[in-house]
Amino acid sequence: MIPAPSEPGARDFRFTDEDFRALARLARAEFGLSLAESKKPLVYSRLARRLRAREISRFQDYMALLGTPDAADERLELISALTTNVTSFFREKHHFETLRQALIPDFPQQSRVRIWSAGCSSGQEPFSIAMTILDALPDAAQRDIRILATDIDPAIVRRAKAAQYTQEEVETIPSELRRSWIGLGARADQFEMAAAPRQMISFAELNLIDPWPFHGPFDAIFCRNVAIYFDQDTQQTLWGRFATMLRDDGFLFIGHSERVSGPALQTLATAGVTTYRKKPASGGAVAT
């Protein structure tokens, strides 16, 4: 929304190439984000919203605010403004077919199963994983099968935990799964995930470029449509870190426009469309 001229905060603010570069440096250092010069108009309009919200009229003042020790909340608002939370149930559904056909048949023989949805947005990805498992393995809830779902954005993690979705959002769930795992929501126009899929998932805030407070190993990692925002160095570091988090033969699923590159290819082999598998005996993570 464009504010009336009398409202405080930025309507038009000065945003030079040097300002853009300063912001791009900060976004890279703090969040691993890559902001190409071509994104300057988009960044400008997203930033204008933040300046208005903070009733700030100059870009320099906004940068100064970000530099203060207690600007943690604004930094998170900034990353929300610079990235998108777009997601949907069963997005890129071939990954869920691979989960069903190549991973789940082995689960009954495993004492423990761990799956990570890294950059889970509002929860549709981890819930699609949970519904796929529950559908294929009726006693899944009684087994040690856990899904970790993380995102940098606290507001989106809260939304994911609430597990409330609109009619339009639940429409991409296959109807038999919808019948089993979706009920009426807190409000008349909402739908809610059933208890069984909710109980399989632990949601948490996590910036993927920070240290990770867990060690795995994971049977599968879904990190889809997240690394696309990162510069190449950050992406390559991330692929390598995911590789060490996977068990041997574990799967890494990435987004449709992403590709693993760099040293991680020594440990990750292509195993289908935007699907990789950890080569055996390439050094697994230690169970914790």
**Interaction site with ligand SAM (CB under 6 A):** 31-32, 79, 83-87, 91, 119, 121, 125, 151-153, 156, 207-209, 224-226, 229, 255
Compute the least distance from the CB of residue 262 to ligand SAM, in Å: 18
Question: Which tokens is 65 given?
Answer: 């605010």
C-alpha dist (Å) from residue 274 to 18, 137, 258, 261: 37, 25, 7, 12
Q: Is 223 left (phi over 0), alpha (psi -120 to 50) or beta?
A: beta
| Residues 51/23, Cβ–Cβ less than 8 Å | no
Catalytic residue flag (residue 46): yes
The Cβ of residue 58 has, within 10 Å, a number of other Cβ atoms equal to 14
Task: Provide, rounded to whole angstroms, the least separation between the CB of residue 232 and ligand SAM.
Answer: 15
Report the residue number, 218 or 229, with the smaller CB distance to ligand SAM.
229
- Residue among 10 and 131 whose Cβ is closer to ligand SAM: 131
CB-based contacts of 138, cutoff 8 Å, min separation 6: none
Judge whether 194 and 183 are in contact, CB under 8 Å: yes
Q: Smallest distance from the beta carbon of 282 to ligand SAM, in angstroms?
A: 25
Say how many C-beta atoms besides its own lie within 10 A of residue 288's C-beta. 7
36's tokens: 């190409």
In terms of CB distance, is 56 or 156 closer to ligand SAM? Answer: 156
In sequence order, which residues have a C-beta less than 8 Å from that of residue 255 and are 6 or more positions away?
Answer: 92, 223, 224, 225, 226, 227, 228, 274
Length of the chain in residues, anyone? 288
Closest distance between ligand SAM and the C-beta of residue 12, in Å? 28
Q: Which of 50, 91, 114, 151 is catalytic?
A: 151
Residue with smaller CB distance to ligand SAM, 56 or 235: 235
Specify whether 11 is catalytic: no
Q: Which is nearer to ligand SAM, 10 or 33 (CB)?
A: 33
The least distance separating ligand SAM from the CB of residue 9, rounded to whole angstroms, comes to 24
Catalytic residue, from 46, 58, 100, 241: name it. Answer: 46
Closest residue to ligand SAM, based on beta-carbon distance: 87
Distance of alpha carbon 249 from alpha carbon 271, whole angstroms: 10
Q: CB 106: neighbour CB atoms within 10 A?
A: 11
- Provide the minimum distance between the beta carbon of 91 and ligand SAM in the complex, in angstroms, as a whole number: 5
Closer to ligand SAM by Cβ: residue 156 or 182:
156
Residue 56: HSE in the Cβ half-sphere, 13 Å Cα cutoff: 18
Q: How far apart are CA 256 and CA 224, in angstroms?
A: 8
Which amino acids are annotated catalytic?
46, 151
